[in-house]
């Protein structure tokens, strides 16, 4: 199996567990990892099944999972699988049918393969660097919408980082005043996948983790879109602030966000918070 075929099979293994528990467990069966950040046995078992299959087939590779963390220091081949076994855990536990599995492969500093799987609809979104992005084998392209004005966008609230809510709300007010619509569905991986497919005209969110966006970001760029942090740079994977959209909308969003905050200001804000006793 090539890497994408392996990711598809691993996602199916994880999905079988998630579908077994779907609507059988709820928030009373989960516990909080951090403020507004839930985990259940479904997350953990799905991740274990995904890692087990990939590890059997790629024994020299390293894993970064949402639930298990980094399995080891970088291996000799520099390959790291970045896994979110259930993106949209709160939705899943509330029985709201928007959740997914995200699997990405990073070769040293570059994401080279990505897969987002929506089990309830049995839809696979996949991409390999330089080879395009696909929805169930059919080529995807980002939308042709030229600007934020009149656009249909996706976003997410920084619910795990309350210190950024006020800044986010100022950005949101600007965007929603001219966009056709803004949706907050609760799975960043799916938001990026549907941006790559041209369903959403763009996506922006703050304070995400690498496993939330690693696969989806490659889908967007391979579908002809742009991905960056809030200042237009390439530190989105480490910073967690991301904009993904067709070129014109991406440019608009970066300009609109820049009225309210820069990545350097967010860095200083975070550093100040960490240094406080």
The model's pLDDT over 79-132, given as tens digits with 9 standing for 90+, comes to: 999 999 999 999 999 999 999 999 999 998 899 999 999 999 999 999 999 999
Average pLDDT of the residues in 225-238:
94
* pLDDT value, residue 266: 80
* pLDDT value, residue 36: 43
pLDDT: which is higher, 102 or 40: 102
- Alpha carbon distance 160, 209 (integer Å): 11
Residue 277 — pLDDT band, cuts 50, 70, 90?
A: very low
Q: Do domains 3-139 and 152-273 have the same CATH topology?
A: no
The three-state (H, E, C) secondary structure of the chain, written as one string: CCHHHHHHHHHHHHHHHHHHHCCCCCHHHCEEEECCEEECHHHHHHHHHHHHHHHHHCCCCEEEECCCEECCCCCCCCEEEEEEEEECHHHHHCCCCCCEEEEEEEECCEEEEEEEEECCCCEEEEEECCCCEEECCEECCCCCCCCCCCCEEEEECCCCCHHHHHHHHHHHHHHHCCCCEEECCCCHHHHHHHHHCCCCCEEEECCCCHHHHHHHHHHHHHCCCEEECCCCCCCHHHHCCEEEECHHHHHHHHHHHHCCCCHHHHHHHHHHHHHCC
* pLDDT value, residue 200: 98
pTM strictly above 0.85: yes
pLDDT at position 203 over 60: yes
Backbone angles phi, psi at 128, to 5 degrees: -125, 140
Extents of the domains making up the chain: 3-139, 152-273
pLDDT at position 274 over 60: no
Range in 29-38, 75-84, 116-125, 132-141 with the lowest mean pLDDT: 29-38
* pLDDT value, residue 71: 67
Residue 8 — pLDDT band, cuts 50, 70, 90?
A: very high
- Angle at CA of residue 47, ends 46 and 51, nearest 5°: 120
Tell me which residue has tokens 């950024």: 164
Range in 30-39, 167-176, 188-197, 218-227 with the lowest mean pLDDT: 30-39
pLDDT at position 160 over 90: no
Q: If you average pLDDT over every residue of the chain, what do you get?
A: 91
User: What Å distances lie between residue 68 and 6, 11, 46, 64, 99, CA to CA?
Assistant: 20, 17, 11, 7, 19
Q: Are the C-beta atoms of 151 and 179 separated by less than 8 Å? A: yes
* pLDDT value, residue 254: 97
pLDDT: which is higher, 164 or 256: 256
What number of residues does the chain have? 277
CATH topology for 152-273 is: D-Maltodextrin-Binding Protein; domain 2 (3.40.190)
The tokens describing 110, both together, are 């570059």
Q: Are the C-beta atoms of 218 and 242 separated by less than 8 Å? A: no
Tell me which residue has tokens 């970045």: 82
pLDDT at position 74 over 70: no
Class of domain 3-139: alpha beta
pLDDT at position 37 over 70: no
Average pLDDT of the residues in 158-163:
77
């Amino acid at each position: 199996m090539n890497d994408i075929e392996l990711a598809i099979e691993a996602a199916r293994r994880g999905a079988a567990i998630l579908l077994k528990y779907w609507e059988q467990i709820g928030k009373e069966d989960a516990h909080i990892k951090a403020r507004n950040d839930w985990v259940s046995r479904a997350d953990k078992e799905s991740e274990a099944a995904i890692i087990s299959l990939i590890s059997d087939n790629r024994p020299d590779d390293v894993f970064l999972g949402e639930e298990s963390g980094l399995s080891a220091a970088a291996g000799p081949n520099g390959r790291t699988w970045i896994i979110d076994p259930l993106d949209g855990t709160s939705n899943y536990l509330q029985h709201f049918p928007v959740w997914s599995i995200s699997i990405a492969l990073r070769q040293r500093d570059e994401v080279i393969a990505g897969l987002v799987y929506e089990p309830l609809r049995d839809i696979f979104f996949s991409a390999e660097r330089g080879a395009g992005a696909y929805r169930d084998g059919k080529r995807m392209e980002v939308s042709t919408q030229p600007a934020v004005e009149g656009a249909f966008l996706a976003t997410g609230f920084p619910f795990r980082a309350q210190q950024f809510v006020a800044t986010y709300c100022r950005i949101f007010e600007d965007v929603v005043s001219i966009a056709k619509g803004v949706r907050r569905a609760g799975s960043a991986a799916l938001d990026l996948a549907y941006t790559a497919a041209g369903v959403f005209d763009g996506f922006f969110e703050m304070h995400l983790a690498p496993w939330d966006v690693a696969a989806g970001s490659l889908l967007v760029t391979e579908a002809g879109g742009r991905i960056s942090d809030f200042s237009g740079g390439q530190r989105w994977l480490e910073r967690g602030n991301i904009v993904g959209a067709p070129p014109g909308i991406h440019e608009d969003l970066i300009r609109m966000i820049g009225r309210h905050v820069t990545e350097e200001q967010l860095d200083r804000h975070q550093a100040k918070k960490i240094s406080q006793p």
